[in-house]
Amino acid sequence: MKLINACFIAFATYSRIPVPQVEWNERNMKYSFCFFPLIGAFVGAALLVLDWVCGFFGFGRTLFAAAAAALPALLTGGIHMDGFCDTSDALASHAPRERKLEILKDSNVGAFAVIRLCLFYLLYFGALSQISSRGLGVAAAGFVLSRALSGFAVVRFRAAKKDGMAAAFRDAAHRSTVSAVMAAFAALAAGAMVWAAPVAGACALMAALAVFAYYRVMSYRVFGGVTGDLAGWFLSLCELWIVWGAVMGEGVARLWI
């Protein structure tokens, strides 16, 4: 029952998927992060179903790309994009570290967040309009990988502050167990990406790891550690570059044929 409650907390927090409401306490939250990548599996499966539905009804790739770009936010409630916007404003402020951390907590959206959000969806839409069905398999597995890496960072990277949602999950988590589960999910997702399309999957995997390395360096240097908003920023950026990595990998594969 403890693991079921932990799963419900993860889905209730990081998705719009209806689940029974359970009490937020240390016992139920201890392993809740272990189920975080399963939300990515749900989003990835929905993406593949959307591709099949569009193909069945003969819809063009433009319509598919528009729906696919909106799909993650619709299924998660946009919680990660909120972190992307807050972090974009903070990074663009060029203010001292303390002020940047204050901007992360500010509920208002600045001009730089709007600009970068528009650029994000423009690039995401463009890549999804070009990706093949096998490349979509890479992208689907990428939703699991991004959450596994993000969850690993939350429990293992230095925290920039002691309050907030990420801190609550980190403090309640059984860190060694969560870290091991995140590593296992990351390995499975990486294997699935390469299996779905070897060249495209390998390129997408390298792109995800490059973003993860940049996330570690940037968060420590600029913010002094990670926060929930930074975790959302990383997850969103990672998924964007996974799709672009898959598209570029498919281009490279075509040159070899």
Mean pLDDT over 151-164 rounds to: 83
Phi, psi values for residue 92, rounded to 5°: -80, -10
Instruction: Kindly list the domain boundaries of the chain, sorted by start residue.
Output: 2-256
User: What does the pLDDT read at residue 63?
Assistant: 95
CA 74, 240, 86, 228 dihedral sign is: positive
Q: Mind listing the pLDDT tens digit for each residue in 80-137? A: 999 999 999 999 888 888 888 888 887 778 888 999 999 999 999 999 999 998 999 9
Q: Is the pLDDT of residue 202 over 90?
A: yes
Q: What percent of the chain has pLDDT over 90?
A: 61
Q: Mind listing the pLDDT tens digit for each residue in 9-55? A: 888 888 888 888 877 766 767 778 889 999 999 999 999 999 999 99
The residue with greater pLDDT, 21 or 233, is 233
Mean pLDDT over 180-186 rounds to: 94
Mean pLDDT over 212-229 rounds to: 93
Segment holding 47, helix H or strand E: helix 36-56
Exposure string over 2-29, b if 16+ CB within 10 A, otherwise e: eeebbbbbbbbbbbeeeeeebeeeeebb
Mean pLDDT over 3-11 rounds to: 80
Report the half-sphere exposure of 241 (CA within 13 A, side-chain side): 19
User: What does the pLDDT read at residue 171?
Assistant: 62
Q: How many CB atoms lie within 10 A of CB 256?
A: 6
Name which of 85-89, 168-172, 239-243 the model is least confident about.
168-172
Mean pLDDT over 164-178 rounds to: 69
User: What does the pLDDT read at residue 33?
Assistant: 82
Measured distance CA(25)–CA(172) in Å, rounded: 8
User: What does the pLDDT read at residue 85?
Assistant: 92
